[in-house]
Copies of this chain bind each other. A is one copy, B any other.
Amino acid sequence: MTDAQDLMRRLHVKNDSKIVLLVSDGLGGLPKEPGGKTELETAKTPNLDAVARRGVSGLSLPVLPGITPGSGPGHLGLFGYDPLKYEIGRGVLEALGIDFDLGPNDVAIRGNFCSVDDAGKITDRRAGRIGSDIGKKLVEKLDKITIPGVEVFVKPVKEYRFVVVFRGEGLGGDVEDTDPQRTGVPPLDPQPRNEASKRTAEICKTFIEKAREVLKNDHPANLLTLRGIAKKPDIPTFEEIYGTKAAALAVYPMYRGLARLVSMDVLDAGQTLADQMAKLKQVWNDYDFFFIHFKYTDSTGEDGNFDAKVKRTEELDAAIPRITELDPTVLIVTGDHSTPSKLKSHSWHSVPIVLSAETARFDACESFGESECLRGGLGQFEAKYLMPLAMAHAGKLDKFGA
C-alpha cells in the first residue's frame, strides 16, 4: 500500500523555499530525578526558545515507542525513510563515511583493533585506543591480505577503527559480529545468519586468521574484531523522493555516510560548528535542503556528563542566529534519538522537535525542551513523518486526491 514516502514521490513540487534540518545528535535527555530538568531544559537556550515561540513543537519517536535506535535508523527516520524498511549495517555506514564507493557486490565491515593475551583472550576491546597514525600503519599491512576469489579492501577510519570490504559475486551480507562485547574471552567465530552468507563467513574467518599472523607483534593492536557485516541496501535517492537539492554539512564520517547513502551532496563542512555555519552561508543559494549535524550532544550524553551536555547544547544554541539570519522557509531543530547522560547511552525516549515556518499552526510553547514539547502542536509522531511535515510547511507538496 501507498506509504508516506510514496506520497512524497508523487506530490512533491519544486519551489524556491528552503528547509534547514538541524540535527543535534542524541538531543533528548532525562532529568536526574523527578521534578528535575533535562539537559536541554537546563541549558540556557534563548535562541532555540525564540524558535519555539514562533514555531510549533512536538516530540518524535525515532522508530517506534520503546525502540532505541542506532545512528543509522535514527537518521533514516529523520530523512523520511522508514527505518524498519531500510536496514543499514554498521559496516556500510562506516564505509560510506570514509568515501568508500560501495557497489552491489560489496560486503562492508567495521573493524576494531583489539588486544589479546597469549591465550587469545581479549584484554582490551579497543586496543588501548591507539592513535590514528598507528592505526593507519596497521591498516596498510592488513590491506595487503589476499583471499582467493574476492577483492579485499582495508581502510582506516579513526584510531582503532577501520573498514573492511570484501568484493565478490554472490556474497551474502548476514554474518554475526565477532566482537563478544566483553573482555576475558576470545573473539567469536563469524557465524552466517543464512545460507547465502556462509561463504562470506568463511571469508571473514580466513581474513581473521591472516590478520592474526600479520598483527602478532603489534600489541596492543594484535588482533581485530569484525562488526556490522552488511551489504548496502537498495535505497531511493533523496532528490527522487522530495525533488529537493540537498546538502549535508556533517563533520563525522558516520553522518556524512548516512547523507551519502540517500545521495545528498556531502560538502566539506570543516571541523567545527562555526565551519559548518560558514559553509551553510556560502552554499545557501545552491541548495534548497540542508542537513546539518552536531555530534556533541550525543557524545557528552554517552559520557554520562550532564553538565557537558548542557554546555554543548548552549554551544548549539549560540549558532542558531547564523541559520535564522539566512531566513529559511522552514527551520527544524531536533535529534536523531535521545542520549540521556543519566543512561550514558542512546535511548528510546521521544526527541524534542521544533519547526518554525510562516505556515505553522503556532502553539503555546514558550521554550524548547521536553516538557514544553509535550504540549506542542505537532504532538508525538514517528520520525519518518518529519520530512512530510517539512515539505508541507515549505509549500513543496501538492494536494493528495481531488
Contact = CB atoms under 8 A, between A and B. Distances in A.
A386 B390 CA distance: 26
A362 to B, nearest CB: 4
Interface stretch (A70-78, A120-128, A148-156, A314-322): A70-78
A264 B393 CA distance: 36
A392 interface: yes
A11 B35 CA distance: 31
A380 B375 CA distance: 12
Interface in A1-28: 1-4, 7, 11
A59 B31 CA distance: 22
Interface residues of A, number: 73
> Top 9 A-B pairs ranked by shortest CB distance?
A66-B388, A90-B402, A65-B385, A66-B392, A70-B401, A379-B380, A73-B401, A66-B389, A2-B84
Given A59-B379, A401-B83, A30 B392 contact: no
A69 interface: yes
B391 A66 contact: yes
A374 B375 contact: yes
A349 interface: yes
A196 interface: no
B68 A402 contact: no
Contacts of A391: 66
Interface string A57-95: 001000111111111110000000011110111100100
